[in-house]
Amino acid sequence: MSFSNSSNQLKRLLGRTLITFILVAGLSYPPGVPARAGEPNANEQREFKVIESAFASSDLETAQSHVTTFLRTYIQSSLTPSVENIRGLIFLKQKRIPQAIQAFSRALELSSHQSFRQYVLYNLATAQLEGRAIEEADETLREIHPELLDQPNRLKLITLQVSIYERRNQFLEAVHYLSNLTRSRTEPENKEQTQLLSHLFNQVMQNISSFAALEKLLEDPENQVLGDGILFRLANLEATQDRLASASAHLQKLIDVYPASTHLTQAREMQNQIQQASTLDRSAIGVLLPFKGKLAKFGTKSLQGIELALGIFESDRPNSDLRLILEDAGEEPESAIQALNRLVLKHHVIAVIGPMLSKGVDLVAQRAQELGVPLLSLSRRANQATQDYVFHAGVTQQMQSYEIARYAIQDLGLKKIAILYPNDKLGSESSQAFWDATQMLGGEIVGFESYYTSETDFRLPIDKLSGLFYTEARQSELDQLAKDRLTNHITKRTRKTEQFFALKPIVDYQAVFIPDEAKKLGQIMPTFSYRDVEGLKFLGTSEWNSADFASRSQNYGENSFFVDAFFPDTATGSTKVFLEDYRATFSQEPGSLEAIAYDAARILQSALSRGSGGLSRLELKDRLLKIQDFPGATGKITYKNGQLSRSLKVLTVKGGQVKDTRL
C-alpha cells in the first residue's frame, strides 16, 4: 500500500532525492561544443575530449588533473567555459559547494552562448540549492528559458523547481505548480512527463500531514486533476491516526470518482486492511529479525535481549503474559516487508521490534507507517523521513558520527580532520553525517577520500589525502629534489636514496575518520605510517568495539577513539542489572546487540503496562513519543526526532584492550 506508485525505472532515473539525481548528471549538453566565439585548435579539442571521457567514466582525479592543465595552458580557448562547467560538476560531486558555485559563475562570465548558458545556470542553481542558498537558487532558476531546452532537460528543470519549493516547506505551492503542469501537458510529451509529475506529486504529498491542508487542496477545483492522489494521501494519514471511518469514506470516493486512478488497486487493498485492523491482539509483540542464513546468529543475540527484557523465562514477572510472534526478516527488503505484513495483518500484533539490517530499512519503515503499527527499529541506519510510528532504537550512524565528532573537537581539541571511507551506502552516509557534525561543532574537514570495499591496498587514497598524488602544485619541490640528486650524483632510486626522489607528505589534518570494520583498519592504519604520515588520531564507530580491533590495530589503537552504546566494564545501575540477569539466564557475556534489543523491549513493555486495557496502536505510539530519561542498559534514553537517543560511550585501546576513555 505504498503511497508512491512510480515505476522502478523512474526511481532508478530520479534516485531517492533530487540532489543525488543532479549530481550524477546535470543537464545534458552536446559534448565539445564551443561555448564562445572561436574555433578550438586540435590540441585543445584533444585535451577537452580527455576531460569529458574521464568525467563521464567518473574518474574525477584524472578529469580534475586535466582541467587544471587545460585552464593553465589554454586561457583564451573557446572551450574554456565548457571546461569551467565540468570543473564545477566535479566539485559538485565532491561536495565542494563554494568551489562549484565559483566554477559555474566563471563559466557564465566567459560565455554569451545562450543555449550553453541555460545548462550552466541549471548547474549553478543546483550547487546553490545543495549549499542551502535557496533564494539564490530560485533567482538563478528564473533566468533559464525552458524553450531553449529539449524535453528531457525541461523535465529536470521541473524537478529542480519542485525541490526548491520543498526546501522552503512550500508544499501546497508545489502541488499547485504540479497541478498547473498536469493540466497543461500535451500529448507528444505525455508519457515521460506524466510519470515525472506523478512521482514528484507523490513525493510532495508525503510532506503534507495536515488534514485541513489536504481538505483545502481537495476543495480547490484546479486540483481535481490530482484529486485521486490527494484522496489517497488523506486516507493514508487518517488510517495512521485510527480515523478509520473517515479514511474508508475517502477511499470509497476515490474508487467511485477515479476508476482509472493508479491508486485504485491500493485503495481497495487498504479498504480490506481497515476492516482487518479492528482486530488487535494487545498481548502479541512482533519480532522482525534474521533467523535463517548467515545473519541468524545476530538475530538470535537480539532475540535473547528481547526475551530477557519481557521476562519470557520468568512467569512471575510483570507483563509475563506478553507473547512474542517471530518472523524471519530475511536479507532483502521485500522479504522483510512481507514478514511485517504477516505480523500485522495475520497475527494482529500491537507493535514490532526490528528490523536490524540497514538494507531496505526505509521501505520497512514506510510500510509500518502505512499500517499504523509502532516499529522499534534496531538498525544502525535511520530512514530519511521522520515518521511518528517509527522509533529508531538502534545506535544509528548519525548518532555515532555526531558523538565521535563532538569528542574529537571538544575533548581532544582537534580542529582539522580528514575522512577516509568505504564507497558503499553505509560508509557514504556515515561520512556525510560526520562531515555535517564536524562543521556544526566548529571543526573543518580538510580531506575527503573513498576506497572500494574490496580494496586491500590503501596507498592511493592516503596519498591523495596527504599531497602525494596531486603533485602539479608542488613542481618547485620536485625541481629541488632533481637538483639535489644532481648535486649528490644520485642516479638510482633505492631505499637509501628515497629521500631524494619522494616528496614529503603534506599532513594538514590532525585526525582521520574511518567508518569501517576492524579487519580493514588492520590494513589501513599501518599504511599511514608506511607513507610517513605520523602522529594522527584515528576516529571510528561501534564496529571498532571488539577484541579483534584491539589485536589488529597494533600500536595504532592507542591513538584511536570510537563510540558504542554499551560497555560492560563501567556497568552501574540498570546496566549492572542487565549484565547480572543476562549472565544468569544465558551463561554468556552480552554485547551491544543484546543490550540495545533489551532496551527496546523494556521501553515497549513499560509503555504497554501503564494504564488499563483497551490500548490502541495510536495510543501506544503517543506514549512512545513521550519517552524521557528511560533507565536502560545502554544509559538514559529519550525520544528525539524519530530516535531513541542516549549518550554514547567513547572508547579507546590501552594495553591491547578496549577501554572506556573515562577510566
pLDDT tens digit string along 502-530? 778 888 899 999 999 888 998 999 999 88
pLDDT of residue 648: 92
pLDDT of residue 406: 96
pLDDT band, residue 34 (cuts 50/70/90): low
d(CA 201, CA 197): 6
Which tops the pLDDT comparison, 147 or 288?
A: 288
Average pLDDT value over all residues in the chain: 84
- Rounded average pLDDT over 421-431: 90
337-371 pLDDT, tens digit per residue, is 999 999 998 899 999 999 998 888 989 998 898 88
Fold: same for 8-205 and 571-646: no
What CATH number has the domain spanning 8-205? 1.25.40.10
- Rounded average pLDDT over 103-123: 90
The grid cell for 474 is: 608542488
- pLDDT at residue 603 tops 90: yes
- pLDDT at residue 500 tops 60: yes
Where do runs of H (alpha helix) occur along 410-546? 425-440, 459-465, 475-487, 518-530
How much of the chain is in helix, strand and coil states, percent to nearest 5?
55, 10, 30
pLDDT of residue 12: 30
- Rounded average pLDDT over 548-567: 88
- pLDDT at residue 439 tops 70: yes
559-594 pLDDT, tens digit per residue, is 899 999 998 876 678 899 999 999 999 999 999 999
DSSP 505: P
pLDDT of residue 7: 29
Report residue 376: phi and psi, to 5°: -100, 95
pLDDT band, residue 327 (cuts 50/70/90): very high
242-258 pLDDT, tens digit per residue, is 677 788 888 989 998 98
Which tops the pLDDT comparison, 7 or 123?
A: 123
- pLDDT at residue 19 tops 70: no
- Rounded average pLDDT over 23-31: 44
- Rounded average pLDDT over 314-318: 57
Q: Of 473, 429, 472, which is closest to residue 450 (Cα–Cα)?
A: 429
- Rounded average pLDDT over 617-628: 91
C-alpha separations of 89 from 77, 99, 103, 236, 449 in Å: 19, 10, 9, 39, 17
What angle do helix axes 171-184 and 190-205 make, rounded to 10 degrees? 160
Which tops the pLDDT comparison, 194 or 325?
A: 325
pLDDT of residue 38: 64
- DSSP three-state, residue 534: coil
Query: CB of 533 within 8 A of CB of 505?
Result: yes
- pLDDT at residue 624 tops 80: yes
pLDDT of residue 37: 56
pLDDT of residue 590: 93
Return the domain boundaries, the chain.
8-205, 211-277, 398-468+505-564, 571-646
Q: Of 102, 196, 214, which is closest to residue 158 (Cα–Cα)?
A: 196
pLDDT of residue 26: 52
Choice among 47-61, 282-296, 544-558, 638-652 with the minimum mean pLDDT: 544-558
pLDDT band, residue 102 (cuts 50/70/90): very high
pLDDT of residue 384: 65
- pLDDT at residue 409 tops 50: yes
pLDDT of residue 22: 32
What percent of the chain stands above pLDDT 70? 89
pLDDT of residue 385: 66
Query: CB of 630 within 8 A of CB of 600?
Result: no
- Rounded average pLDDT over 376-404: 88
C-alpha separations of 200 from 15, 62, 314 in Å: 12, 36, 52
Superfamily of domain 571-646: Response regulator (3.40.50.2300)
Across 35-44, 111-120, 160-169, 434-443, which has the greatest mean pLDDT? 434-443
pLDDT band, residue 8 (cuts 50/70/90): very low
d(CA 371, CA 239): 8
- Rounded average pLDDT over 301-329: 83
What CATH number has the domain spanning 398-468+505-564? 3.40.50.2300
Choice among 205-209, 400-404, 534-538 with the minimum mean pLDDT: 205-209
- Rounded average pLDDT over 84-90: 93
pLDDT of residue 611: 58
Q: Which residues contact 158 (CB under 8 A, 6 or more apart)?
A: 181, 196, 197, 200
- Rounded average pLDDT over 155-170: 85
pLDDT of residue 326: 96
The grid cell for 359 is: 538494507
pLDDT of residue 612: 52
pLDDT of residue 18: 29
What percent of the chain stands above pLDDT 90? 40
